[in-house]
Amino acid sequence: MCDINATINLPPGFKFLPTDEELVLHFLYRKASLLPCNPNIIPDLDLNFHAPWQLNGKALCSGNKWYFFSQISGDRETENGYWKQIENIEEPIFTTAGKKIGVKKYLVFFIGEAPVGVETNWIMQEYHLCNYGFSTKPHKRKGNRKILENCKWVLCRVYEREGNFPSFCNYGDHVEDDDDEDNGTELSGLDEMYLSLDDDLADISLPN
């Protein structure tokens, strides 16, 4: 598993600009399956103890975005407020080979107690592995390692929108994604890593 004491600051001049596919395959999948995280730069955090403005110095920061692993609990409440999921907003994540490997959910941070808090501009993109896409059978080449509790681990990307926006929760089925790097970006170097995980990903299934 990733060491929570890993260095989370990138060297000067480096930016962490992964695509959705890279976040799920290279980081979240490896986290859930107990494979080595390389580079080991995304820490584990408990959402219940961190408001979004408290992430600096604790989560991996790149530009105006913060990345961390967390485990899903019954709620996402903090001392200052709570994260509310935007209903009916869930984006599928596919590999370049067309296999569905995860989903991305959107949440907005509210200050105060649920359900009457004040909406803020803090947004969280929460990455999940497909519950049906990864088997808990032993891997063929990984010494009987299993994907443990894969549905509980999520990878979070948090950012603050700038300017005045209409209520995010009233967007219906349209989401303004602040992460422009993910839109239409092809992977660089992921194909080689994907091939090396052929046996690990053999249990990924396509939805009907």
Contacts of 142 (CB under 8 A, 6+ apart): 33, 35, 199, 200
pLDDT over 70 percentage in the chain: 63
Q: Is the pLDDT reported for residue 149 higher than 70?
A: no
Nearest to 74 by CA among 48, 102, 108: 48
User: Token pair 């660089």 is at which residue?
Assistant: 188
Using one digit for the tens of pLDDT, what is the confidence trace for 78-129? 999 999 999 888 999 999 999 999 999 999 999 999 889 999 999 999 999 9
Lowest mean pLDDT among 8-22, 87-101, 142-156, 168-182: 168-182
Provide the pLDDT confidence category of residue 62 given band limits of 50, 70 and 90: confident
Residue type, 148: L
Asked whether the whole model's pTM tops 0.75, one would answer: no
Using one digit for the tens of pLDDT, what is the confidence trace for 166-185? 565 554 444 555 554 444 33
Provide the pLDDT confidence category of residue 17 given band limits of 50, 70 and 90: confident
DSSP state for residue 9 in the 8-state scheme: P
Q: Is the pLDDT reported for residue 57 higher than 60?
A: yes
pLDDT score, position 9: 61
pLDDT score, position 14: 76
pLDDT score, position 168: 57
